[in-house]
């Protein structure tokens, strides 16, 4: 298949008026003789932290994967790490099994593996997680959760101060990205694990020790250390626009990972929903527990990217934070995240307002604004 007269935006180059040829993977691209490209073609977006959408959560016993995947595709997302919650170990393993089964059954699913958010978290920064199922980060506890799924768990959010060095080493030996989140770690505690190679933070600024002028905490560590990857929820709620601008000003853009942290209500109307057994009220694009605690988001991925663009990121930088950087966490067997020959033909076509027009997954049209 061939698409012409589009502006091609790779993380590291652009073709103002371009063409692209592809089957399941990209076979070539170049400059088009036609002029006046009206649409933007970028690598498909990669959401490494998302709990569900269209009424379903990845922790549910029964999931209509077709509906959830349609929601992801409609927002330009072509690769997903299904994110779990703090829950009984058996429930977490069942969720992993369900995602693995879906991947085997559907060759064009966006699912690429799992992000374990919890159960090793701090009781002081529970957020919208269920405190009844929190575990210590011991080697035996982590093995009970992960054993047999080492190749499938791509990232794990943990409170490092609740974890043993041995357990951290185990995760690293399996190639699992350790992300610090829901954590009460001091700057000094974080630095101990940073020196062991822990360089990733979950939904930066949220559910972690804040910045103080005498105790800079995890937020201070994220701003200070240029080689730490920061997840950003750019919904204007988890982080206001001034904070996002501050992060973009002081942190390298190639160390930023755009996420949604979206829960089951994403793509649906306001109302009451469930998150891990907790009641969540969704109103005015905000999802909160009864006490006002933020409970994930209902952010659409493309809308979050528009906010980042409005705050100063150019399109190539958008492609870095939405595709290239998160693809390094996914570690896909088939390369994703760039518009280059040999890479999967996963890409999104949108207008200059970030409205998704058409989405391709492995060369197949999986969403069209005209046809749904």
Cβ proximity of 71 and 348 under 8 Å: no
DSSP state, residue 213: S
Q: What is the C-alpha separation between 122 and 185, in angstroms, rounded?
A: 9
Estimate the crossing angle of helix 187-194 against helix 217-224, to 10 degrees.
Answer: 50
Q: What is the C-alpha separation between 362 and 110, in angstroms, rounded?
A: 10
Q: What SS3 state is found at 324?
A: helix
Does 229 qualify as catalytic in the annotation?
A: no
Which tokens sit at 270? Answer: 């306001």
DSSP state, residue 163: B
Q: Which residue has the tokens 């088939």?
A: 334
Q: What SS3 state is found at 242?
A: helix
Phi, psi at 167, each rounded to 5°: -70, -40
Sign of CA dihedral 259, 328, 70, 66: negative
Selecting among 10, 57, 235, 261, the annotated active-site residue is 261
Kindly report the number of other CB atoms within 10 A of residue 99's CB atom: 24
Q: What is the C-alpha separation between 358 and 16, in angstroms, rounded?
A: 19
- Catalytically active residues are 261
């Amino acid at each position: 298949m061939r698409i012409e007269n589009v502006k091609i935006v790779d993380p590291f180059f652009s073709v103002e008026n371009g063409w692209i040829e592809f089957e399941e993977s990209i076979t070539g691209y170049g400059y088009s003789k036609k002029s006046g490209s009206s649409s933007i073609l970028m690598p498909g977006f990669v959401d490494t932290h998302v709990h569900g959408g269209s009424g379903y959560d990845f922790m549910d016993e029964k999931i209509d994967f077709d509906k959830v995947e349609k929601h992801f595709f409609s927002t330009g997302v072509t690769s997903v790490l299904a994110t779990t919650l703090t829950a009984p170990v058996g429930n977490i393993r069942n969720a992993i099994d369900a995602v693995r089964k879906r991947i085997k059954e559907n060759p064009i699913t966006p699912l690429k593996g799992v992000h374990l958010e919890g159960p090793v978290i701090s009781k002081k920064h529970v957020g919208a997680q269920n405190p009844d199922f929190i575990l210590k980060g011991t080697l035996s506890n982590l093995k009970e959760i992960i054993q047999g799924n080492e190749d499938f768990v791509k990232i794990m959010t943990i409170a490092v101060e609740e974890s043993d060095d041995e357990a951290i080493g185990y995760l690293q030996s399996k190639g699992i990205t350790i992300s610090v989140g829901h954590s009460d770690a001091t700057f000094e505690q974080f630095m101990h694990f940073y020196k062991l190679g822990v360089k990733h933070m979950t939904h930066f600024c949220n559910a972690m020790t804040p910045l103080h002028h005498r105790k800079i905490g995890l937020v201070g560590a994220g701003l200070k250390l240029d080689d730490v990857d920061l997840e950003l929820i750019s919904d204007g709620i988890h982080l206001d626009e001034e904070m996002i601008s501050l992060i973009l000003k002081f942190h390298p853009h190639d160390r930023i990972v755009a996420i949604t942290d979206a829960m089951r209500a994403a793509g649906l109307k306001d109302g009451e929903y469930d998150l891990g057994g907790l009641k969540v009220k969704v109103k005015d694009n905000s999802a909160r527990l009864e006490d006002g605690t933020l409970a994930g988001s209902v952010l659409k991925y493309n809308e979050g990217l528009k906010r980042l663009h409005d705050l100063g990121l150019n399109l190539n930088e958008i492609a870095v934070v939405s595709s290239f950087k998160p693809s390094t966490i996914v570690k896909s067997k088939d390369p994703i995240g760039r518009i280059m020959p040999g890479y999967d033909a996963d890409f999104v076509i949108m207008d200059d307002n970030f409205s998704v027009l058409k989405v391709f997954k492995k060369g197949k049209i999986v969403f069209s604004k005209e046809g749904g």
